[in-house]
Structure 1
Amino acid sequence: MSYVLLVLTTLFWSGNFVISRGMHAEIPPFSLAFWRWVAAFAILSFFAVKHLWRERELAKKHYRFICIQGLVGVAGFNTLIYLAMQTTTAINAVLVNSCIPVLIAVCSWVFYREMMTVRQCFGVLVSLSGVVLIISRGELAHLLAVSFNQGDLLVLFAALLWAIYSANLKRYPQGLHPMAYQSGIVLFGVLVLVPFYGYELVSGKAMQVSVASVGTILYVALFASVLAFIFWNRAVRTVGANKAGPFIHLMPVFSTILAVIFLGEKIQSYHLQGIVMIFIGIAMTTFRVGRREARG
């Protein structure tokens, strides 16, 4: 079940990358981040905030953990992605974002001395190669033609923040209800975003209210925020950050599928080859084989 949740999470996030790039002219980055999480908190208020209130003493005891997670996972990661989308392309963002599994492995080792097996490391490289194959369209010239800019550095920093968030879930407080945790980090994230959103408004940048902008906010709030975060948190706590990380490489797979369905694009051989490599890599990092690993 955890792996199904990871697949759904990457599906929802794939849409988030595409939409944020497509709407960057209508919705400024801090506005998108702020209203995304305000709407997400409104959704959570129907069924999750009551858990936070009921477990407020436990949440207060672990407030540092909740604040850190809200800072890096809610306010930090997504806002940097939206800022990056002002100056970079969705292809560049997905490519740079694909280093998250490697960064998760590094953070897991630095913080908790957790190491990936040789097979898992090789699996990450195989799935990452599949990502590169899809983005390069099967030709080295296309990959060499990709130019990187300041926005890509923001994506890289965002990826580091998400790696820290994911590795840090190992410290999840025992007994804290997942809904209490979710509403807690979202609430803190919104509070962090308030001054940045205010500065953006004072600077004369405001969201253009339209059916498309409202629809964007609702999508990223429900699917990319509430559901994706709940699914990711549960899956990482169950299977571990190192096993969950390579599922990030499914994002270009879903982007390709969505383009075929909604944009009428044709699937090419390099798409299929890259998808196969990604799934092989994920299988290598996910499933244990051999008696020696089974005992570990």
Structure 2
Amino acid sequence: MKKGILLLIAATLLWAGNYICGRFLAPALPATLLNTVRWAISTVLLWGLLVLNKKNLPIFSKWKEFLILGFLGVFAFSTLNYLGLKSISASQAGMISAGIPIIILLFTPIFLKEKIKTKGWIGAIISIIGVIILVQGKQSNSTAHSVIGEIEILLSCLAWALYTVLGKKYGRQMDPLTMTAGAAFYGTLFSFISCIGTVQPSMIHMTKSAWLAIMYVSTFASVVAYFAWNAGVKIVGAGRAAPFINLLPVWTVILGVLLLQEQISGVTLLGGIVAILGAILASL
């Protein structure tokens, strides 16, 4: 049991690192190109794992499922995240992500026909209030640009929630590794197409540190975190694992303050705490 809990904690910590690297890489690469490079590397690694496990990838027979999941979970979620991180801090983006479990809760009855208990809805309302407080608690020097960044992060949460719910639905037809590899392939194609005509060589400012950050988001924040999370869920069970996703905004704030010297206002911190508590209540 302890091993499973440690794996879940490690996964959320690795995912939080994606926000930090996304913020760090904001001046180095356009969001669409960053996402293309990240997931192209991840796709190769995932396909390699499929080969090692002697599994086939039904890239054509399951193209509709992969196309939808790739657009939502790989292209839309990651690209919107990187766009938002150009104008708001990793800490604030991480706390806004506390709303993801709540959006999943809202979509579950629609797509999976599952009933949500009263406690879940109470937690959802509390978390939504927290996110509203968080967004309103911007620094005094906030601009229209930062408001757009907040909207982009909120939209990324919406995309990930849809990906999660539909992934559960499509997961009845295929295993998680196959589904993730297929989604990564089609998501990378969407990202590549979005770069055409929008990315210029003058927009690329890579350094050794930037390359290291890209390698991190392509491996540890993608493949390694995915396997750590799934291994942890297998040990402790899905029900007990669900609340651990709420550690993501906590780690993001801690890493943002320690590594990027970010500062957050008291109101923003209060909103983040309320959003996380609501999400925990809904998850229990």
SS in 1 for 2:221: helix
The structure showing larger relative contact order (alpha-carbon pairs under 8 Å, at least 6 residues apart) is 2
C-alpha deviation, 1:13, in angstroms: 2.2
Alpha-carbon distance, 1:33 to partner: 0.3
Which residue number in structure 2 is paired with residue 291 of structure 1? none
Once residues 186 and 221 of structure 1 are traced to their aligned partners in structure 2, the CA distance between those partners, rounded to angstroms, is: 11
Higher gyration radius (CA): 1
Q: Is the 8 A contact 2:42 2:223 kept in 1?
A: yes
Q: 2:23 aligns with which of 21, 24, 35?
A: 21
Residue 116 of structure 1 aligns to a residue whose secondary structure is coil
Number of matched pairs: 276
Aligned mates of 2:78, 2:45 — CA distance in 1:
18
Which segment is superposed worse, 253-262 or 276-285?
A: 276-285
The 5 A counterparts of 1:57-72 are 57=58, 60-72=60-72
Aligned amino acid, residue 30 of structure 1: T
Percent identical residues: 27
Partner of 2:122 in structure 1? Answer: 122
Deviation at residue 270 of structure 1 after TM alignment:
10
Question: RMSD of the alignment, in Å?
Answer: 3.9
1:115–1:45 distance in 2 versus 1, CA, 3 Å:
same
- Give 1:14 deviation, angstroms: 1.6
Inter-partner Cα distance in structure 2 for 1:46 and 1:8: 23
Between stretches 37-46 and 87-96, larger displacement belongs to 87-96
Aligned to 1:99: 99
1:206 CA drift (Å)? 4.3
1:199 and 2:200 are equivalent in the alignment: no
- 1:54-203 map, 5 Å: 54-57=55-58, 60-124=60-124, 142=137, 145=140, 149-174=147-172, 176-201=174-199, 203=200
Gaps of 5+ in 2: none
Tell me the amino acid that sits aligned with residue 216 of structure 1: A
Corresponding residue number in structure 2 for 1:43 = 45
Shift of 1:107: 1.2
Q: Deviations over 1:240-270 (max 9, x none)?
A: 7xx83x544323311343356557899xx99
Distance of 1:190 and 1:260 partners within structure 2: 31
Task: Specify the alignment match of 2:208 in structure 1.
Answer: 211
- Equivalent-residue separation in structure 1 for 2:275 and 2:151 (angstroms): 24
- How far, CA to CA, are the matches of 2:46 and 2:172 in structure 1? 21
| Consecutive unaligned residues in structure 1, runs of 5 or more | 288-296
Task: State the 1:118 CA deviation.
Answer: 1.9
Secondary structure of 2:193's partner?
Answer: helix
Distance 1:260 1:92 in 2: 11
TM-score (norm 1): 0.74
Task: Please name the residue that 1:292 is paired with.
Answer: none
